[in-house]
Chain A
Amino acid sequence: MKTAKFLFLICAGILLLQGGICPLFAQDATEAALRDQILKAKNNSDIQAAFTKAKDFYFQNNKYNDFAVFLKTIVQKKNSLEVFSDYYTALARYQQLKFLEETQGWDEYFGKGNDYREEITSGLDKVIKAAGEKDPLALYSRLLSWQFHADQQDASAEDALSDLIKAVYEFAEDSKDLVPLKDVADRLLAYQQRAHAKEIYKIYIGKISSQEATSCDLEAMIVQFYNEGNIELAQTVADVFLERVAKSDSKEKSVSSLVNIARLFAFKDEGPKDAFYAEKIFKKIEEMAGNEPFDEELAYLRSFNAEKAKEFDISKSYYSNLLTRFPQTTHHDEAVYKIGIISVYVLRDVKTAKENFERLAAKETLSPQVISSLYHLGLLSQWEDDSTKARQYYDKLIEKAKDNFAETVSMAKDRLEEIKEEKPLDYNTRLFIDMALKDEYADFAMSKLDLKSDFYKPVKEKQVNISSTAYPPQSGCIQVTLEYLWSADLGKTIPTNQDNSFATSYPDSGTKVIWLIATTPSGIIDRNLDFIDVK
């Protein structure tokens, strides 16, 4: 009997250890170890590391209350650690409120929320007063305080932000520890506070560059931050680089670096880009060295970049410049064609457009743009009600194209059919040209309708997604029915009037032009156009 009882107790003991008591012992042991580590830490850096370790342990299991209790026991044993305890208690309560929101634990959230908020605000105030603005913990407290108010969008958010920025400047004055500066800037950026983030990145980079960074280091940092996807930080370093370049004697090397930087930010289908920032660098290069650094490819890139920023008039002048300096450029036909399209359909300049289209149409060597120019010459003649001339252009197009350029040939055949049957020009196409050229539509500035593609240099047959966003007038909770009048080079898909976006592909290479008008039952919202260069 005794043996049986003994065996029972052993079994029960094993079960308890496996099921419940053992984890408790394990947690107690870990807590004790963490406490010991904190209490024995000798300098601020070790203390900080030990607190971070403890925080990670409790946060990973969402044990915020346990962490708060743990922090109290630390202070009971070592009062000098109160400042750390206050900061981490505030951080725990901040995370706890987030966790309760996420899990919709509304009873605790509304029952104890204001107590937790009190712990956050009073705790952080105490840290800031006790530690002083030069201490990283005070800066992180300012940051947490601002985040707390910003999350609630309350009346103190603005002051907290202003206090944080002031604290950054004070901290940065003579601190050699730059990590907190970057942490603050990263957090501001995550909260879409781009201007302030850039301001602090500038201080951070200024400190780094004044300490030991060479121009080569800065260039490498630009690439590194760009590759990390932090385009704001990359631009901040580039700004510092620009300032340094302005004072440099080695102009040639500086310009070469600037060219690399401009290429990095210039528009491309893949990766981060900022066409406006790239243009800023291009301008700097031009200021420093004129046209010379702009070889054929760089001159093309600048034109293309401006085109993608939808700065069509500037883009047109860059394409013209490319043609003047490099008459034999491999981008010749594309540039001439785009000048033609921009001239007539954006800048309302029919004469220049026709000159450029005729220039291409007269070429012996065929290209997609030569064929498309004939199409637009025909189209403009048809719109001007000169059917004879229009027919001549379309016939010439079909004759020249032979069995190639099937998409453009098909459109030309559609137009010829209209002329033959004395039908009006396709409605969407005619309206787009009306809007481009008739005075009554002059107020539509392509500002209330965005149009874009996910790829601008796709290969043939690759799927591209073309999308638009219209900004319709106010209509309360009754949605205005929008119609989308698509025309020009739409590829294999013909979107309906209800589609604000569509996926398509192009079987032929060349420069494709997408036209779109958005309308409501009461009238037109706006129009826009875009280019896609199929390789």
Chain B
Amino acid sequence: MVNTYKDEPGILLWILGNENNYSCLGHVNPWSTDEIDKEPDPQKQRLEKARIYYSFVNEIAKEIHAADPNHPVALGNGELILLETAKQYAPDVDLIACIIYRGKTFGNLFRSLRATFDKPLLISEFGADCYDAKLQKEDQNWQAFFLESQWRLIYENLANNKEGEGNCIGATMFEWTDEWWKHNQVDADSWKVHDTESNWSNGSYYFDIEAPKNMNMNEEWFGIVALSGDEKEFGLDKRIPRKSYYVIRDFWKDPKAADKNKKTGKSR
């Protein structure tokens, strides 16, 4: 894949993995080896799995550098979990691409990364949905509030910004438009339906955490533009900008002014 696409102008960097580190903890996609199974201490089991995983990532990073010296290689990690082990076994990655869903704030993310694995940080996935799973209705205000707050913190911690840690090189937000196919990916009929059933739970998005089973994250409602089910535009479902679209647009027109407005009560 690297050899095929390395000269494409659209290639910015290579990211290895998508939250695979969680499997080392055993909560999702559990795996093991005979040796690990013999180890009675669960903590040692996790560290051994992390050693195997990050060593493998490092091998691939080296291979990619050899094949494509012009693009950096990132480690795609869920949160900062197990990065102490990554520091030891994956020294050849150039930057850390973290997937972070912490609601209003990133907390001590930027500082913690400095202390654990001091590499440049790309927040490769973050965002907020706009469906209130508790009240069972769309709520554009909360999404706009979370996204503005998240972008503000990213801006504060960007490289060369002395207000923050200066170790963030940017972020890719999840996401531009809603994806109606996500809830039930094997049922083509459901792709035409904007499902409201939640797929996962996250207490940091506190406004609707009291939804049944605490399932408050609605995977089909993360877009900053919605899709019209009825109207077409350019042969596609018409895009309808949500509040967060305008908030982010205005924020990036002048991030410093947006920050001042927030402090004086002129924010959205």
Contacts and interface: CB of A to CB of B under 8 A. Distances in A.
Interface string A122-154: 000000000000000000000000001100111
Contacts of A475: 22, 25, 27-28, 78
Contacts of A152: 265, 267-268
Contacts of B160: none
Interface in A198-229: none
Contacts of A114: 261, 266
B139 to A, nearest CB: 10
Nearest to B104: A153
Q: Chain B interface secondary structure, helix, strand, loop or mixed?
A: mixed
Contacts of A110: 246, 250, 268
B81 A474 contact: yes
Interface residues of B, number: 39
Contacts of A523: 26, 42
B200 A149 contact: no
Contact of B265 (A148, A472, A521): A148
B65 to A, nearest CB: 27
Interface string B156-172: 00000000000000000
Contacts of A121: 265
Contacts of A101: 140-141, 243
A267 B117 CA distance: 52
Interface string A94-123: 000000010010100110011001100100
Contacts of B145: 153
Interface in B188-202: 199-202
A472 B264 contact: no
B99 interface: yes
Interface in B238-268: 241, 243, 246, 250, 261-268
A476 interface: yes
Contacts, number: 94
A373 B202 CA distance: 42
A155 interface: yes
Contacts of A476: 19, 22, 78-79, 99, 101
Contact of B199 (A474, A479, A480, A521): A479
A104 B243 contact: yes
B57 interface: no
B79 A474 contact: yes
A148 B197 CA distance: 32
Contacts of B85: none
A430 B239 CA distance: 55
Nearest to B125: A477
Interface in B1-60: 19, 22, 25-30, 42
Interface of B: 19, 22, 25-30, 42, 78-79, 81, 99, 101, 125, 140-141, 145, 199-202, 212-214, 217, 219, 241, 243, 246, 250, 261-268
14 contacts: A110-B250, A152-B267, A152-B268, A475-B22, A475-B28, A476-B79, A478-B28, A478-B29, A479-B199, A500-B213, A520-B26, A521-B27, A522-B30, A523-B26
Considering the complex of A and B, which 9 residue pairs feature the smallest CB-CB distances, nearest first? A522-B26, A476-B78, A479-B200, A155-B263, A478-B28, A156-B265, A480-B27, A475-B27, A110-B246
Given A155-B264, A480-B27, 19 more contacts: A104-B140, A109-B246, A109-B268, A110-B246, A110-B268, A114-B266, A155-B265, A156-B265, A475-B22, A475-B28, A475-B78, A477-B200, A477-B219, A478-B28, A479-B199, A481-B28, A521-B30, A522-B26, A522-B27
